[in-house]
Every structure is written in structure tokens, then in C-alpha cells.
Amino acid sequence: MPLSYKHSASKGFDGRLILYYSLLVTIGWLTIFSTSYNPNANLGFSFSLPYVRQLIWIGTSVVLAMVILLLDARIIQHYSYHLYLFCLLLVISTFFLGSKINGATSWIKIGSFSIQPTEFMKLATAMALAKFFNEGKTTVEKRSMWLIAFGIILTPAFIILLQKDTGSALVFLSFIILFYREGMTGTIFIFGAIAVFLFVFTLLTNEIYSLALLTFILVIAWIIDRKDKKKIIRNIIIYVVAIAFIGAVNIGYNKVLQPHQKQRIDTLLGKTSDPKGADFNLIQSKIAIGSGGFFGKGYLNGTQTKLNFVPEQSTDFIFCAIGEEWGFLGSCVLGTLFLSLVIRILRLSEKQRNPYARYYGYGIAGIIAFHFFINIGMTIGLVPIIGIPLPFISYGGSSLWAFTAMLFIFIKLNDN
């Protein structure tokens, strides 16, 4: 395949996506500058300063974006599996080469820089899934097609889970949006919602109450459906599965989860309160955001984020700085920007004549949306603390490169 840039089919890169991207990256850099800015020290230029490093990553991201835009879209499509396998190997290699950061062994150190293969794994999985759906749907029979699709997302998720990076592993759940769009029934979401309810209910009370509740529902259902044997059998099956699920939750919660993960769930459910210990991060995060008020304290005027009260304030908790300095208004602007980006991707995906581009678009829209909702949600106490970055905003080269590549590949595909 020729590597030449094909001009003929171009209808112009999507200006809005590039605008959203530029705005988000700029906000990100300004916020990183603010969190590391010390009014009592002179502005320095040192490669150890986060905002200087981030500037380098932004620069390299722009180069990366341009390279992608110059590539032939077919090459991207063609090498999707190769990239997937390569990334999978990288992720696996961290078992041997990786260095521990924050308890997770998902980093590879190269000189003074560390790269995180999991960030690229998300991109590669989106590409592989798109390629698989594009080619597979015609050749593979329906049921096994879904199995393979699940295999594509669960393999990296499982390996990443083994590396104790639960947050990144959960990101792979976001492909459900793509699955749903591509024909999976909506029932799965209902079951999902029931599962979440049972999970929370079991942990909040105990399994006896869950059991009682399920039995009560079963009895009601039996009375309603008493004439329909088929439905009764179906209900009993659901009942048994639900009980098995409760058991699994118990075992999973007590045996599988790390103490700090249990703690995070407990904190969110309000089961324990330990403001100086495990709850510290969440409380500090809420204080920072809450103290922002409607208009915020103003750029560079945040106290909570500037004084390191908020942990990980330039990476996972960077929203605290935005919430503190720009207030409710700024938070809404940021949210609107993210939503516009995601919805724009979805809208453009729907218009694609090349199915690969649509699958890919839904894949990355899901990833970005998941990151956005989980990241913001954890800082304001709506979801447990799961360490994943805020796309385009959070400090970090791997994440920025991966999301840049993700978006610009879509922009390139959209252009064809």
C-alpha cells in the first residue's frame, strides 16, 4: 500500500474536533501550570517542572497528530491488529520490565521518561474491535462473533487487572457502548443496573437482606405470572443467578479486592468515615472543588490545589484545581466541552460510510466519555476513587499521546 497522502477524497479535517482538542489541551496545560505555580518562587524553566514537561508532550503530540493526518487511512485500518498485538506485548512486558508507580506495575521506564502501555492499549483495542466488526460480521456467525469481541476487550483488561491497575482495566467496559450500538440488546443494561443495585445493596446491608429481597420479588413475580409456566421457570433461573451473583460479590469483595479498593468502595457507600486516613483524598478533593463557589477563586488563586492538599492534583485529581479556580461556571464549561467533543464524535460516526470509522468512533467516544464521567465523578464523590486520568487535561505524556492519537485517527478517518 502506498504511503502517499491521498488528496482527492479529502473533505477537510473536522475543524470543531480540532478546536475542542486545542481548548482542552490548553486548559489542561494552564491548570497544570497553576497547580505547580508557586507565587513566592521565580518562574523557572527546568525539565523537572510538570508544566515544562507537559509542554514538551503537547509539542510532541502535535507532531504525532500531524503525522497521523498525513498517513493513509487505509494503513491505519490495515495495521489495526498488528498494533493491538504489539500493545498487548508491551503491556505484558511490563511484568518483566515495569517499574512500580502508585502500587501498579504498568510503567516502562525509558531514560527519565516513563511510558504507560495501557494508555495505548485502549487505542489499539478500539482499532482492533473496529477492524474485527468491519470484517468479522460477514464471516463469523453471530454468537461466536460476540465471544471474540468480548475476548478482544477482556484480554487486555484482564492482564491490566493483574497489574493491579483496576482503573485502567475498567475502562475497557466502555466498549459496551459500541456493542450496544452494533446490535447487542438493551437487556444487558437492565441486567447491569440490577447487578449494580444488588452489589451496592449487599455491601451496604448484608447478603441475608439481599436474599430476602430477592425471594420477596420472586414470590410477587410468581403470583403475577402464576399461569405462565415458562415465565415462572425464567424467574427462577434469574433468582438463582442473582443469588450466585450475591455470593460472587461477597467473595469478590472480601477475598479479591485489595484493602484500599475495599476502603474506597466503603467510603463511597458511606460505610466508614476516616477523614485523616483513607477518606482523606476524597474529602480534600471535595473541599477543593466545593470551596470554588460559583465563579471560582480565579486563575492561580486556588489554595487547596496549590498547597498540595489534594493528592495527585495534576494527574487524576486535576479537576479539583479547575473546580477550585474556575468554580461551578468553569466546571460547566469544561463539562460542555467534553460532552460536545464526545457527541461530535458520535454524530460524525453515524455519518461514516466506512463502517470501520463508525465502529472506531463509537469505541473512542466510549473511552473518552468513560474517562470523563469516572474521573469527574470520583473527585466529587459520585463514583469510587478509580485512578484514571482526565483525557487531554491530566498531566502525563502517555495519556496525552494516546488520546491525541485516538482523536486524530478519527479525524483522519472522518476525512476520508
- Measured from the CB atom, the residue of 44 and 183 that comes closer to another protein is 183
User: Kind of pairing, strands 99-101 and 104-110?
Assistant: antiparallel
Residue 240 binding another protein, by CB under 8 A: no
The alpha carbons of the chain give a radius of gyration, in whole angstroms, of: 23
In angstroms, the CA 165 to CA 150 distance is: 19
Q: 99-101 and 113-115: which strand pairing?
A: unpaired
Q: Write each residue from 107 to 146 as x if it is in contact with another protein (CB under 8 A), else as -, in one continuous string.
A: ------------------------------x---------
- Smallest gap from Cβ 335 to another protein, in A, equals 6
Write down the least CB distance from residue 177 to another protein, Å: 6
Q: Which of 192, 174, 186, 185 is nearest to 346 (CA)?
A: 174
193 binds another protein (CB under 8 A): no
To another protein, the closest distance from the beta carbon of 144 in angstroms equals 17
Q: Is 355 in the site for another protein (CB under 8 A)?
A: yes
191 binds another protein, rule: CB under 8 A: no
Rule CB under 8 A: say whether 202 interacts with another protein. Answer: no
| Nearer of residues 212 and 382 to another protein, judged by Cβ | 382
Tally of CB atoms within 10 A around 337: 19
Q: Please identify which residue in 106, 284, 398, 416 interacts with another protein, judged by CB under 8 A.
A: 284
Q: Choose which of 49, 79, 335, 415 interacts with another protein (CB under 8 A).
A: 335
Q: Does 290 bind another protein (CB under 8 A)?
A: yes
Q: Which residues pair with 110 in a beta bridge?
A: 113
263 to 282: interface string for another protein, x by CB under 8 A: -------------x------
CB distance 204 to 213 below 8 Å: no
Interface with another protein (CB under 8 A), residue from 327, 361, 387, 396: 327
Contact (Cβ atoms closer than 8 angstroms) between residue 160 and residue 118: yes
Q: Residue 359 Cβ, how far from another protein at the closest point, in Å?
A: 10
CB nearer another protein, residue 116 or residue 281: 281
Among 289, 318, 390, 393, binds another protein (CB under 8 A): 289
What whole-number distance in Å separates Cα of residue 273 and Cα of residue 386?
18
Residue 323 within binding range of another protein, rule CB under 8 A: yes
The window from 93-101, 233-241, 259-267, 303-311 that contacts another protein (CB under 8 A) reads: 303-311
Of residues 377-396, which lie at the interface with another protein (CB under 8 A)? 377, 380-382
Segment contacting another protein by CB under 8 A, of 20-28, 201-209, 248-256, 375-383: 375-383
Q: Are 186 and 403 in contact (CB under 8 A)?
A: no
How many residues lie near another protein (CB under 8 A)? 48
User: Measured on CA atoms in the order 355, 360, 366, 368, is the torsion positive or negative?
Assistant: negative
Q: Does 244 bind another protein (CB under 8 A)?
A: no
Q: Which residues, 72 to 101, sit near another protein by CB under 8 A?
A: none
CB 160 within 8 A of CB 121: yes
Residue type, 341: L
Indicate which single residue of 35, 315, 331, 399 sits in contact with another protein (rule: CB under 8 A): 331
Q: Side chain identity at 214, as an amino acid letter?
A: L
Beta bridge partners of 101: 104
Pick 309 or 392: Cβ nearer another protein: 309
Residue whose grid cell is 497521523: 68
Which cell numbers hold the place of 206? Answer: 448484608
Interaction with another protein in 161-190: which residues (CB under 8 A)? Answer: 177, 180-183, 186
Query: Which of 169, 376, 378, 407 is close enough to bind another protein by CB under 8 A?
Result: 376
Dihedral over Cα of 100, 105, 111, 117: its sign: negative
Q: Give the nearest distance from C-beta 310 to another protein in angstroms.
A: 8
Convert 245-254 to b/e letters by CB count within 10 Å (16 or more is b).
bbeebeeebe
> What is the C-alpha to C-alpha distance for residues 68 and 362, in angstroms, rounded to an integer?
19
Crossing angle of the two packed helices 50-70 and 15-36, in degrees rounded to 10: 160
Report DSSP letters for 92-135, one per residue: HHHHHH-EEETTEEEEEEETTEEE-HHHHHHHHHHHHHHHHHHH
For another protein, the closer CB: 115 or 385: 385
C-alpha cell at 10: 479529502
Using CB under 8 A as the binding rule, whether residue 239 contacts another protein is answered as no
Of the chain, the end-to-end C-alpha distance in Å amounts to 16
Sites of contact with another protein (CB under 8 A): 38-40, 137, 177, 180-183, 186, 276, 283-284, 286-294, 303-304, 306-309, 323, 327-328, 331-332, 335, 339, 342-343, 346-347, 350, 355, 369, 373, 376-377, 380-382
